């Protein structure tokens, strides 16, 4: 049985998943381009690379992505989260077009159109499959009684 | 097509398959871990942020999922040093959408209805086109 578990706040979390992953990757790529090629014999250069502002910001965004991704998988299906968050590819392409004035080929525009259509299509359906006996109550140490 | 080209084609396919299979296992393991734990918002409200983080980190399926995702990442790095970025990146990214849908249906028992199959296939095509 499927049902919709989405609220405005959860859509915002999915938005964070969508935007932070491609932006984080892009920042890592920009940072590593500035650092230059890292030789296998000088892997310690990678540690210095972490100090680059773009790489630091990229890592912070990817941490945001992973925590939001985990949260979204706790209340939505994998087959809902992955297509719904693929809109991030479109956002990055549009940023490249209108902010950095990069050329986007007709094939890429077609790709943007397909992804946007798929996101709209899946977002109108249910987000969570109710499966009995999958959720085990969390067993953490009981909180101490207040004195 | 000579023997060298044929061999290269099989090697590229094997590297892409390694990325896709390990990424799919990683995603399914992590999704399964999160489903077993339940809503993280509820856990956080009951046990605090540290409690929620601990609950995730102590899940064996989550740890296995992260190991497989790391394997996928290193397979991608290895593939990129042997094959073209324009082939490996879009092929692995788009195929993962389809394999995830199949794995989610059989291993996570998600209700992958016609709507989700179409969405997965269309996103797969869209990602491949955007990388061209």
Contact at CB, A111 and B120, closer than 8 angstroms: no
Cα dihedral A27→A29→A35→A36 (10° resolution): -160
CB pairs under 8 A between A and B: 139
- Give the C-alpha separation, B115 to A118, whole Å: 9
3-state SS assignment for residue A127: coil
**What is the ipTM for the molecules in this complex?**
0.83
Average pLDDT, chain A: 81
Residue of A70 and A22 predicted with greater confidence: A70
Alpha helices in chain B (DSSP H): 3-37, 40-57, 60-80, 85-106, 114-130
The ranges assigned to domains in chain A are: 2-37+45-124
For the whole model, what pTM was predicted? 0.80
B116:A75 CB<8 A? no
Neighbours of B86 (CB within 10 A): 10
To which residue do tokens 């959720």 refer?
A135
Structure tokens at A29: 């790529």
Map out the domains of chain B as residue ranges.
Answer: 3-130
> Which pLDDT score is estimated for B78?
81
- What is the chain B residue with the closest CA to A85? B123
Which residues, other chains included, contact A18 with Cβ-Cβ below 8 Å and sequence gap of 6+? A84, A85, A86, A87, A88, A91
| Residue A51 confidence (pLDDT) above 80 | yes
CA atoms within 13 A on the CB side of A102: 13
> Taking all residues of chain B, what is their mean pLDDT, rounded to a whole number?
86
Report the share of chain A in percent with pLDDT over 90. 21
């Amino acid at each position: 049985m499927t049902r919709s578990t989405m609220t405005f706040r959860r859509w915002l979390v999915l938005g964070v998943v969508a935007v932070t992953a491609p932006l984080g990757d892009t920042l890592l790529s920009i940072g590593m381009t500035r650092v230059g090629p890292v030789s296998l014999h000088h892997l310690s250069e990678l540690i210095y690379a972490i100090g680059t502002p773009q790489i630091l910001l990229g890592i912070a965004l990817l941490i945001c992505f992973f925590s939001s991704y985990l949260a979204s998988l706790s209340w939505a299906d994998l087959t809902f989260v992955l297509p719904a968050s693929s809109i991030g590819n479109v956002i990055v392409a549009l940023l490249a077009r209108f902010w950095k004035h990069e050329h986007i080929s007709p094939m890429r525009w077609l790709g943007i159109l397909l992804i946007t259509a798929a996101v709209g299509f899946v977002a109108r359906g249910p987000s969570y499959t109710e499966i009995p006996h999958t959720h085990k109550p969390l067993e953490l140490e009981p909180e101490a009684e207040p004195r | 097509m000579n023997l060298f080209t044929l061999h290269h084609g099989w090697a590229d396919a094997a590297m892409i398959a390694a990325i896709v299979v390990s990424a799919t296992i990683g995603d399914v393991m992590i999704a399964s871990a999160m489903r077993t734990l339940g809503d993280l918002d509820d856990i956080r409200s009951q046990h605090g942020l540290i409690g929620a983080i601990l609950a995730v980190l102590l899940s064996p399926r989550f740890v296995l999922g992260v190991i497989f995702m790391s394997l996928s990442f290193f397979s991608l790095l290895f593939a990129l040093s042997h094959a073209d970025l324009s082939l490996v990146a879009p092929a692995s990214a788009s195929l993962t959408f389809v394999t995830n849908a199949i794995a989610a249906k059989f291993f996570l028992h998600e209700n992958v209805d016609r709507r989700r199959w179409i969405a997965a296939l269309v996103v797969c095509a869209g990602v491949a086109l955007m990388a061209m």
